[in-house]
Amino acid sequence: MLRKLILIATVIAILAVGCGKQEKQTAPLGSPENPIKMAFVPSLDTRKLVISGEKLAELLKKQTGLTFKTTVPTSYAAVISAMGAGKVDVGWLSPLPYVIAHDQYGVRVILRTVRNKSDKYWSFIIARTDTGINKLEDLKGKRFAYGDPVSTAGCLYAKDLIRSKGYDPDKFFSQVIYAGSHDKVVMAVYNKQVDGGAIYGGVASDAREKVVDTIKDVMTKTKVIAKSVDIPNDTVSVRKDLPEELVKKIADGLIKVASSDEGRIAVMSLYGIDGFVPAKDSDYDSVRKVAKTERIKIEQIK
């Protein structure tokens, strides 16, 4: 009888431990034990993005009751791969990385950003004002800086602009560097490491304003000499199988946060965003067309 009681007690203990482990593994997504993982692409200064992202996560938690863990991976490709593997739930993807993420992994766009009341932007080509470079053609045979190789404004649409003028972007410049982010492109042009560079530009601002705190005269020492065709603004996207109730909470929460005084400051400091509008995949068909022209494939993403 004693042996039987010991056996029963042992079974109960094993089941209790097993249930405990199972309960821990199945903590609801969005709970403190299992936060929603949100990643930002490193298109600007990583340190600033980390700080701004954490602040946004706090505000979203107040608005939605959901817990978020934010990260800034080392590249656009890292965000895409993590979303495809289910390791990132929400990704702030610019247009080209979004298109690739959607076509490769079924990632879904839920919101499009708004800046200065506009949901579109451009690729700006900039140069120093003291170089005599006043138009795109003046950069032929010069040194040039792109951002990330898969940056929509920092690379893709700049190359499309060069092609539209009848030139081959692979042969147009004497030297090309990939600075990694828009602010680094600005600094490379300002410091005369290159003669021109590609950055994002909006209705009333562009990437140069991101470095104006440290380079006070950047707006007068550099100028925009060309711009691309329209680009739909960057996205807030979610992994393929994120539950719909969470998708709605996140989308509604971001819109509400951006409409509050504190939230407006947070999203502005993040990527210079004013707010969000609902978005659908077909909004980015024009990006697919340009990507096809440039023969962009996922294998090229670094």
Class of domain 36-117+233-300: alpha beta
pLDDT computed for residue 149 by the predictor: 82
Could you tell me which residues come within 8 angstroms of residue 78 by beta carbon, excluding any fewer than 6 positions away?
none
Q: Which of 116 and 17 is assigned the larger pLDDT?
A: 116
The values of phi and psi at residue 149, to 5°, are -55, -25
pLDDT band at residue 11 using 50, 70 and 90 as cut-offs: very low
Stretch 237-247: mean pLDDT, rounded? 97
**In sequence order, what DSSP letters do the residues of 191-258 get, joined into one string?**
TTSSSEEEEEE-SS-BGGGGGTTTSTTHHHHEEEEEE-S-EEPPEEEE-TT--HHHHHHHHHHHHHHH
Stretch 228-243: mean pLDDT, rounded? 95
Stretch 105-128: mean pLDDT, rounded? 95
pLDDT computed for residue 103 by the predictor: 92
pLDDT band at residue 22 using 50, 70 and 90 as cut-offs: very low
pLDDT computed for residue 151 by the predictor: 81
Stretch 35-57: mean pLDDT, rounded? 90
Could you tell me which residues come within 8 angstroms of residue 48 by beta carbon, excluding any fewer than 6 positions away?
269
pLDDT computed for residue 298 by the predictor: 60
pLDDT band at residue 301 using 50, 70 and 90 as cut-offs: low
Q: In which element (H, E) is residue 260 found?
A: none
Domains 36-117+233-300 and 120-231 share a fold: yes
- Helices 285-293 & 157-164, crossing angle to 10 degrees? 60
pLDDT band at residue 12 using 50, 70 and 90 as cut-offs: very low
Could you tell me which residues come within 8 angstroms of residue 266 by beta carbon, excluding any fewer than 6 positions away?
52, 55, 56, 59, 257
How far is Cα of residue 105 from the mean position of the Cα atoms in its chain? Answer: 17
| Coil, helix or strand at residue 51 | helix
Residue with tokens 């920092």: 154
Of the chain, the percentage scoring pLDDT greater than 90 comes to: 74
pLDDT computed for residue 198 by the predictor: 98
Taking the C-alpha atoms of residue 76 and residue 72, their distance in angstroms, rounded to an integer, is 10
Going through the chain in order, the beta strands assigned E by DSSP cover 36-40, 68-71, 90-92, 108-114, 120-128, 143-146, 175-178, 196-201, 222-227, 231-232, 235-238, 275-278
Q: What is the CA radius of gyration of the chain?
A: 23
- Tell the CATH topology of 120-231: D-Maltodextrin-Binding Protein; domain 2 (3.40.190)
pLDDT higher than threshold 90 for residue 87 = yes
Could you tell me which residues come within 8 angstroms of residue 246 by beta carbon, excluding any fewer than 6 positions away?
29, 30, 36, 66, 89
> Domain-by-domain residue ranges, the chain?
36-117+233-300, 120-231
pLDDT band at residue 147 using 50, 70 and 90 as cut-offs: very high
| Coil, helix or strand at residue 302 | coil
pLDDT band at residue 68 using 50, 70 and 90 as cut-offs: very high
Q: Hey, which of 94-98, 199-203, 235-239, 288-292 has the most confident mean pLDDT?
A: 235-239
| Coil, helix or strand at residue 15 | helix
pLDDT computed for residue 300 by the predictor: 62
pLDDT higher than threshold 90 for residue 42 = no
Q: Which of 17 and 106 is assigned the larger pLDDT?
A: 106
